[in-house]
Structure 1
Amino acid sequence: MATLTPSSPSSGATAPPAPPVLGRRDRLVLFVLCAAQFMVALDFSVLNVALPVLGADLGLDRSALQWAVTAFALPSGGFLLLFGRIGDLYGRKRLFLAGLAVFGAASLLAALAWNPAAFLTGRALQGLGAAAIVPTGMSLLTTTFPEGPLRDRALGISGTLLSLGFTIGMVLGGVMTDTLGWRSTMGLLAVFTLVVLPLAPGLLPESRTPDRPRLDVPGAVTVTGGLLALIYALSTAAEHGFGGTDVRITLLAGVLLLAVFVRVESRHAAPLVSLPMLRRGTIAFGNLGGLVTFSMMSTVVFVLTLYLQDTLGLSAFATGLVFGVQGVLSVVAGTFAPRLIGRIGARRTLVASLVGQGLLTAALLGVSEDSGAVLATVAVSLASMCHLGAIISYGLTVTSGVPDGEQGLATGLVTTTQQVGLTVGIPLLGVLATTGGDLYGGVRTVLALDAAIVLGTALVVGLGLRRRS
Structure 2
Amino acid sequence: MTTLMATAAEAAAPAERSRNRWLALTILALAQFLVVLDASIVNIALPSLGAGLGLDHNLLTWVITAYVLPFGGLLMLGGRLADRYGHRRVFLAGVSGFIVASLAAGLSLNGPMLLMARAVQGASAALLAPAALALLMQLFPATDGRAKALGIWGAVAGLGSVAGVLLGGVLTASIGWSAIFFINVPVGLLVLAAIPALLSRDVVRSRARLDLWGAITITLGVVALVAAASMVLEAGFLSPVTLGLGAAGVALLGLFAVIELHSPEPLVSFSIFANRSVTLGNLVVLLIGGAVVGLFFVLSLHMQNVLGYDAMLTGLTQLPLALALIAAAGVLPPLMAKVGSAPTLAASLVVLAGGLVWLALAPVDADFVLHLLGPTIIIGAALGGAFVAGTELAVQRVTEADSGLASGLVNTSQQIGGALGLAVLFTLATTLTNSLGAGGANEIAALAGGYSAAYLGAAGLALLGALIAAFATRK
Tell me if both proteins adopt one fold, taking TM over 0.5 as the criterion.
yes
What are the residue-to-residue correspondences of 1:56-455 with 2, within 5 Å?
A: 56-207=51-202, 210-374=205-369, 375-435=371-431, 436=434, 437=438, 438-455=446-463
Q: Determine the C-alpha separation between the residues in 2 that align with 1:310 and 1:65.
A: 20
More displaced 10-residue stretch of structure 1: 268-277 or 295-304: 268-277
Q: Determine the C-alpha separation between the residues in 2 that align with 1:302 and 1:28.
A: 33
More displaced 10-residue stretch of structure 1: 273-282 or 177-186: 273-282
Deviations 1:103-142 (A, max 9, x none): 0000000001000011111111100110001001111111
Question: 1:36 and 2:25 equivalent?
Answer: no
**What is the number of residues matched between the two proteins?**
447
Residue 350 (structure 1) shift: 1.1
Q: Determine the C-alpha separation between the residues in 2 that align with 1:49 and 1:93.
A: 33
Q: Report the secondary structure of 2:42's partner residue.
A: coil
Deviations 1:240-270 (A, max 9, x none): 3234332221111011111111222222233
- Check conservation: 1:353, 1:386, Cα contact below 8 A: yes
Q: Report the secondary structure of 1:46's partner residue.
A: helix
Q: Determine the C-alpha separation between the residues in 1 that align with 2:162 and 2:19.
A: 29
- Check conservation: 2:89, 2:202, Cα contact below 8 A: no
Paired residue type of 1:200: I
Residue 31 (structure 1) shift: 1.8
Residue 24 (structure 1) shift: 6.7
Paired residue type of 1:30: L
Q: CA RMSD in A?
A: 1.9
Residue 187 (structure 1) shift: 0.6
> What is the aligned partner in structure 1 of residue 11 from structure 2?
none
> What is the aligned partner in structure 1 of residue 6 from structure 2?
none
Residue 432 (structure 1) shift: 2.4
Deviations 1:256-312 (A, max 9, x none): 111111222222233222223223221111111111112102212221212211111
> What is the aligned partner in structure 1 of residue 443 from structure 2?
none
Scaled by the length of structure 2, the TM-score of the pair is 0.90
- Check conservation: 2:19, 2:198, Cα contact below 8 A: no
Deviations 1:342-384 (A, max 9, x none): 1211111111111111111111122111114233232123212
Q: Report the secondary structure of 2:20's partner residue.
A: helix
What are structure 2's unaligned runs of at least 5 residues?
1-14, 439-445
Residue 179 (structure 1) shift: 0.7
Residue 461 (structure 1) shift: 2.7
> What is the aligned partner in structure 2 of residue 456 from structure 1?
464
> What is the aligned partner in structure 2 of residue 466 from structure 1?
473
Q: Determine the C-alpha separation between the residues in 1 that align with 2:400 and 2:89.
A: 17
- Check conservation: 1:208, 1:405, Cα contact below 8 A: no
Q: Report the secondary structure of 1:141's partner residue.
A: helix
Q: Report the secondary structure of 1:215's partner residue.
A: coil
Residue 226 (structure 1) shift: 0.1
Paired residue type of 2:125: A
Query: CA distance change for structure 1 residues 397 and 325 in 2, over 3 Å: closer, same or farther?
Result: same
Q: Determine the C-alpha separation between the residues in 1 that align with 2:52 and 2:34.
A: 25
What are the residue-to-residue correspondences of 1:6-17 with 2, within 5 Å?
A: none
Paired residue type of 1:459: L
Residue 457 (structure 1) shift: 2.5
